[in-house]
Amino acid sequence: MPAEFFSYTSPSLEARPHPAKGGMGLFALQQIAKDELLILWGGKVVMLDKLPENHEKLLQIDEGLYLLTITPEPADYVNHSCDPNAGFLGQVGLVAIRTVHPGEEITMDYAMCDGSPYDEFDCACGAAACRGRVTGDDWRIPELWARYAGYFSPYLQRRINALKANNH
């Protein structure tokens, strides 16, 4: 019997081993158009201080709120890149931000959704624009505001709008 999943993953995608990125990755099986829906994440909404020890993946969805899964599912295998091909649609949706070609790994920049320091790491994405380190403050980089306009998680977009308003 197949495992029960709480997230939607487009049938145009396939999860498969990707040891270079820590275990698994999500890859396009066919060409995907810009703004095509890739994922709708589901799971349990928790506050960071209420995380169970056995959580598998975590996605910040609002100020102080995180979506977690206990059991890995295909939607959890989207890896970080400083030159991503996917971005946010609302709090739990992921869409292509450009045409994605068959065989290409689906990636997002954690700066689009991560606004706290719970998961900072040295980046080895290999992109020409690699920042070298991924932090919970990367959403503050003005160059990323322009590059990812329309694809930030809503709570980060509110933060960005507030920073812009305070700087004028």
Q: Is residue 1 part of a domain?
A: no
134: its two tokens: 């991924």
Q: Which residues of the chain have pLDDT under 50?
A: 1-2
**CATH code at position 14:** 2.170.270.10
2 in a structural domain: no
pLDDT for 54 equals 66
Q: Please provide residue 14's backbone torsions phi and psi, each rounded to the nearest 5 degrees.
A: -140, 130
Residues in contact with 85: Cβ distance below 8 Å, sequence separation at least 6, in sequence order: 96, 97, 98, 100, 104, 106, 107
Question: Does residue 119 lie in a domain region?
Answer: yes
Q: For the chain, where are the alpha helices, taking DSSP H only?
A: 142-147, 154-166
Alpha-carbon distance of 32 to 62, in angstroms, equals 28
Does residue 133 lie within any of the structural domains? Answer: yes
- Partners of 96 in beta bridges: 86
The verdict on residue 131 lying in a domain is yes
Q: Is 73 helix (H, G, I), strand (E, B) or coil?
A: coil
Residue 58: count of CB within 10 angstroms of its CB: 18
Nearest to 78 by CA among 150, 143, 13, 126: 13
Q: Which domain holds residue 103?
A: 8-166
**Cα–Cα distance, 76 to 58 (Å, whole number):** 9
The runs of H, that is alpha helices, within 31-153 are 142-147
Residue 48 lies in a domain: yes
Predicted pLDDT of residue 152: 98
pLDDT tens profile 100-111: 999 999 999 999
Question: Does 77 reside within a domain?
Answer: yes
User: Could you give the C-alpha distances from 117 to 25, 111, 114, in angstroms and in order?
Assistant: 23, 11, 8
Q: How many domains does the chain have?
A: 1
Domain assignment present for residue 3? The answer is no
